[in-house]
Amino acid sequence: MKSIHGGNIVSVARTLGCNTADLLDLSSNLTPFGMAPGLKEMLISNLEQISFLPEAGSETLCRVFAEKYGLQPDEVLAGNGTTEFIFALPTAFHTKKALLVNPTYSDYQVACSWAGVDSEDFFLTREEGFQLNFERLATRLTGGELVFICNPNNPTSVLIPTARLHDFIRQQPKSIFIVDESYLPFTSEPSLLDLDLPENLFLLCSSSKIYGIPGLRLGFLVARKKNLARFSDRNKPWGVNSMAQIGGEFLLQNADPYVHEVRSYIAEQRPKVIQALMQLPQVEVIEGAANFILCYLGGRMRAPELAEKMLQKRIMIRNCDSFTGLDDRYFRISLKDEAGNRRCLEALKQIMGDNL
Ligand SMILES: Cc1ncc(COP(=O)(O)O)c(C=O)c1O
């Protein structure tokens, strides 16, 4: 089983024979404003640090994260993106079963398969607006399984109220919940970090999307101390490079105003873009909350063809036919700056108009 992702802008540019700067990438879900301000200068002025070993366990960075969110330092681990933990978690438990709330981020399934963990699908449906039905989910839990929940969910963008999720996790103490909040900072919903940590929760917090640093590779895993011990004992040394440690510390201490700016921009742009998408004759929009929008094509055209036609206009969108539980009628776009959103909407309008 292989990982499939959007945002492979370098290889797309190579195939099209253009520069990455010529492409408008709406296929990955990064902040529309690029890297958080001040970070570049901070990294450049610390470049000489790569001549030394970074802290083996990112202790300073974990302490800064813990202080910011009112945790103990031994309740936090830093890794090479949350991807490191997505792949480490299924190998760390004796349990050999997992439940995936699909459609969702496909690496959960890949990670389970690589670890020899049997994963079952719990399907969300378009008829239910891809909302998580907790009663139905409860009937599928037998105890001991890993349950992956992405909130808000990629690719649907659907948000679960944090308090409701927190209650559910506590009501199911025999299951182990892995909650991925990679896209939560784009919404105004509080994080599970703001509530007490249930014993059976592992929380993933990515720095890639909200701070615009997917290439720096930094993510955090938060859990109760005794749960994290199984990882910290085996955590490989120097898993987070010096630049990511320095940059991460800087962002945690300085980037809140930037995060708020991104959040208000998304709250303002989302309804505008959705309204424009709904004017398109064949498009149904799935109601969500994050910095990306899932759409359903009700007409003749399918997502692979649409993605190809958009690419001819140097615009990358995500054909969602590789997500378990979706098919070739679904595509996803992320929100960009206003000019980018306009360019995408105009291209969609033109392509769909030509194919009526
Ligand atoms: C839901 C979700 N979780 C995790 C990741 C991986 O992020 P990171 O860069 O923190 O490894 C992605 C990347 O696309 C994602 O969409």
* DSSP symbols for 47-89: GGGGGSPPPTT-HHHHHHHHHHHT--GGGEEEESSHHHHHHHH
CATH of the domain at 345: 3.90.1150.10
Residue type, 32: P
Residue 206 C-alpha to ligand 1 middle, in angstroms? Answer: 7
| Residue range 37-58, pLDDT digits in tens | 999 999 999 999 999 999 999 9
pLDDT of residue 209: 97
Which protein residue has the closest C-alpha to ligand 1 atom 8?
A: 81
Residues 264 and 155 reside in one and the same domain: no
Rounded to the nearest whole angstrom, what is the distance from the C-alpha of residue 6 to the centroid of ligand 1?
11
Confidence of residue 329 (pLDDT cuts 50, 70, 90): very high
In whole angstroms, give the CA distance from residue 297 to residue 300: 8
Average pLDDT of the chain, as a whole number: 95
Dist. CA 222 → ligand 1 center (Å): 15
269 shares a domain with 343: yes
Residues 89 and 150 in one domain: yes
For residue 326, being part of any structural domain is answered with yes
Tell me: cis bond preceding 155? Omega within 30 of 0 counts.
Answer: yes
Q: Name the residue range of residue 317's domain.
A: 9-30+257-354
Instruction: Give the tokens for residue 332.
Output: 């996803």
* Closest to 149 (Cα-Cα) out of 113, 182, 189, 198: 182
Band the pLDDT of 356: cuts 50, 70, 90.
low
User: For residue 98, what is the DSSP state?
Assistant: E
Residue 165, domain member (yes or no) = yes
Instruction: Give the end of a domain, one of 255, 276, 293.
Output: 255
Rounded CA separation 26/295 (Å): 13
What pLDDT does residue 254 have?
Answer: 98
Residue among 73, 35, 6, 51 at smallest CA distance from 248:
35
Span 230-244, average pLDDT: 86
* 231 and 303 part of one domain: no
What is the count of structural domains for the chain? Answer: 2
Domain boundary among 255, 272, 307: 255
Dist CA 107 CA 83 (whole Å): 8
Average pLDDT over residues 304-318: 96
Q: What is the structure's pLDDT at 355?
A: 60
d(CA 48, CA 300): 56
- In order of 19, 46, 240, 257, 289, the CA distances from 245 in angstroms are 30, 11, 6, 20, 30
CATH of the domain at 183: 3.40.640.10
318 and 247 assigned to the same domain: no
Cα separation, 314 vs 35, whole angstroms:
22
The distance between the two most distant Cα atoms of the chain, rounded to a whole number of Å, is 61
Residue ending a domain, among 222, 238, 255, is 255
- Average pLDDT (87-103) is 93
Same-domain check for residues 246 and 263: no
Are 74 and 199 in a shared domain?
yes
* Claim to verify: residue 186 and residue 328 sit in the same structural domain: no
Residue closest by Cα to atom 3 of ligand 1: 182
Q: Are residues 247 and 281 in the same domain?
A: no
Q: What is the pLDDT of residue 234?
A: 72
Q: Which residue has the tokens 């470049």?
A: 47
In a domain, 3, yes or no: no
When pLDDT is cut at 50, 70 and 90, the band that residue 11 belongs to is confident
Say yes or no: 115 and 172 in one domain: yes
Tens of pLDDT along 111-155?
999 999 999 999 999 999 999 999 999 999 999 999 999 999 999
Query: What whole-number distance in Å separates Cα of residue 190 and Cα of residue 187?
Result: 8
How many whole angstroms from 106 Cα to the centroid of ligand 1? Answer: 10
Pocket of ligand 1 (CB under 6 A): 5, 81-83, 105, 150, 154, 180, 182, 206, 208, 214, 219
End-to-end CA distance of the chain: 37
The answer on 315 and 208 residing in a single domain is: no
- pLDDT tier at 7, thresholds 50, 70, 90: low
pLDDT given at position 86: 97
User: 282 and 348, same structural domain?
Assistant: yes
